[in-house]
Amino acid sequence: MPQVTGNLADALATVVGSAHVLEDPELRAPYERDWSGRFGAESRLVVRAADASEVAAVLRMCRDSGVAVVPQGGNTGLVGGSVPRGGEVVLSLTRLTSLGEVDMTTAQVEAGAGVTLAVLQKHAGAAGLDAGMDFAARDSATLGGIASTDAGGLVAFRHGTARARIAGLDAVLGDGSVVRRMSGLLKDNAGYALPALLVGSEGTLGVITRVRWKLVVPNPERVAALVPLDSIEAAAELLGILRTRVPSLEAVEFFLPEGLELVSSYLGVDPPVDGAAVYLIVEAAAPFDPTEELAEVLPEDALVADDTASRRRMWRLRESHTEAIAAAGVAHKMDVGVPLTALGEFLAHVPDVVAALAPEARTILFGHLADGNVHVNVLGLDDDGDAVDEAVLRLVAELGGTISAEHGIGIAKAPYLGLVRAADEIEAMRAIKRALDPSGLLNPGVVV
């Protein structure tokens, strides 16, 4: 294996080829700023590895040179964990795109960490199966990033978060050791579950190079509905009814009038409904047509979409929130989880909590209702906006929620971890970090 005897860039080039070591500021730039535009700094260089052995060599060279590494997939993360804080090497995993044949006995497939969600969806579809995960960043978000953040998305209610979809993975840990667990066994409790520890570790313990993904059997008949409601309490009540009386339920998402207005004007469309306090997008899918099952419990003014084109139009109103908000400015994005019993109180209080500290700011709330997962987006904050983040996250903690439901802690929420995790737990996390990444090579400043 090549040794670092002089310049780190030259040494890395012997591993990945000089075309994949980017030192030119213009070439580095897209890797140095996050999707939201809020986070990022200059890197020392960007290195694009092509396989697990290159990843291992890059990590060893960076460790020997005392230079920290920021693992990066599609760079769609929203908590600042995928971009440098200043002077690190960005290790891009997007070239790890190998994709195995779907194993039809287990309904599992092996895929490189750089395979995007959209590619996995297509690959699974060609075998008559489905990825069991979906969200708007599907064309760029990679399986390595999805595993590392334990991403959720639009059908987590039905199929779980990434954790539920991952049957195994390969990774190179911060200390250079390799974890290989690709057997895909349903039952395997031989010792500590290291792959489970890597899921959701946000690039701080190891670099995931390959995953074994559990696919699901798709339901061919699908119907969506846009449901206007008078209050979040009415939404929570309807959710309970849907959950217990609609076995084909796949997703229950929500947005509010401010979001609908912003998205409609961003997309240049007339909102198909208005005048409500809350809007839900409900989707049911089954081997039979679920329209009747759904219609039985929905209010009469719900708009039903039972063909692909009208379902997509409906979903655009929800999925385009992220883009519409980004087009309006650089938002502080807080992805939180709140017990459903406290959701009404949370949504009612958040705008006041924000307004008390930043009267000019604009608060847009939307999210995955069935998961109690609210995306709090605050536009118009200046550089001192961190007080707003803290106040919102404190409210979440007081209500028994979590400061991160699906995006991760990253650097955005690292200062607030103590709001929802006891000192002993954080110390246990630090002990794990020290054990697996003793030199602090991987993603410093993220999580703990």
Question: Quick check: helix, strand or coil at residue 266?
Answer: helix
The residues with which 368 forms a beta bridge, in sequence order, are 373
Question: Quick check: helix, strand or coil at residue 145?
Answer: helix
Q: What is the dihedral of CA 390, 394, 400, 406, to 10 degrees?
A: -10
Q: Residue 332 or residue 333: which is nearer to ligand MLT going by CB?
A: 333
Choose, by CB under 6 A, the member of 108, 121, 149, 248 that binds ligand FAD: 149
Q: How far is the CB of 311 from ligand FAD (least distance, A)?
A: 17
Span interacting with ligand FAD, options 13-21, 145-153, 223-231, 239-247, rule CB under 6 A: 145-153
**Which helix (H) or strand (E) is 60 found in, with range?**
helix 52-65
Of 107, 104, 106, 101, nearest to 216 by C-alpha is 107
In contact, 205 and 251? CB cutoff 8 Å: no
Q: Please report, as ranges, the residues that interact with ligand MLT according to CB under 6 A.
A: 135-136, 321-322, 333, 335, 375
In contact, 334 and 408? CB cutoff 8 Å: no
Distance CA 143, CA 212 (A): 10
Site track 4-43 with ligand FAD (rule: CB under 6 A), x = hit: -------------------------------x--------
Choose, by CB under 6 A, the member of 13, 68, 72, 236 that binds ligand FAD: 72
Span interacting with ligand FAD, options 21-29, 203-211, 393-401, 419-427, rule CB under 6 A: 203-211
Q: How far is the CB of 131 from ligand MLT (least distance, A)?
A: 16
Among the residues of 257-342, which ranges form H helices? 257-267, 291-295, 308-319, 321-328
Choose, by CB under 6 A, the member of 58, 109, 151, 173 that binds ligand FAD: 151
Q: Is 108 in the site for ligand FAD (CB under 6 A)?
A: no
Strands (E) across 316-372 are located at: 332-337, 362-368
Q: How far is the CB of 201 from ligand FAD (least distance, A)?
A: 7
Q: Is 203 in the site for ligand FAD (CB under 6 A)?
A: yes
Span interacting with ligand FAD, options 71-79, 291-299, 302-310, 394-402, rule CB under 6 A: 71-79
Span interacting with ligand FAD, options 37-45, 133-141, 386-394, 396-404, rule CB under 6 A: 133-141
Distance CA 5, CA 303 (A): 66
State the burial class of residue 349 (Cβ atoms within 10 Å of its Cβ: 0-12, 13-18, 19+): middle
Q: Is 112 in the site for ligand FAD (CB under 6 A)?
A: no
What the block records as the tokens of 373 is 């997962």
Binding partner of 375, given ligand MLT, ligand FAD, none, CB within 5-8 angstroms per partner class: ligand MLT
**Percentages helix, strand, coil for the chain, rounded to the nearest 5?**
40, 20, 40
Binding partner of 347, given ligand MLT, ligand FAD, none, CB within 5-8 angstroms per partner class: none
Span interacting with ligand FAD, options 70-78, 120-128, 343-351, 424-432, rule CB under 6 A: 70-78
Q: Is 59 in the site for ligand FAD (CB under 6 A)?
A: no
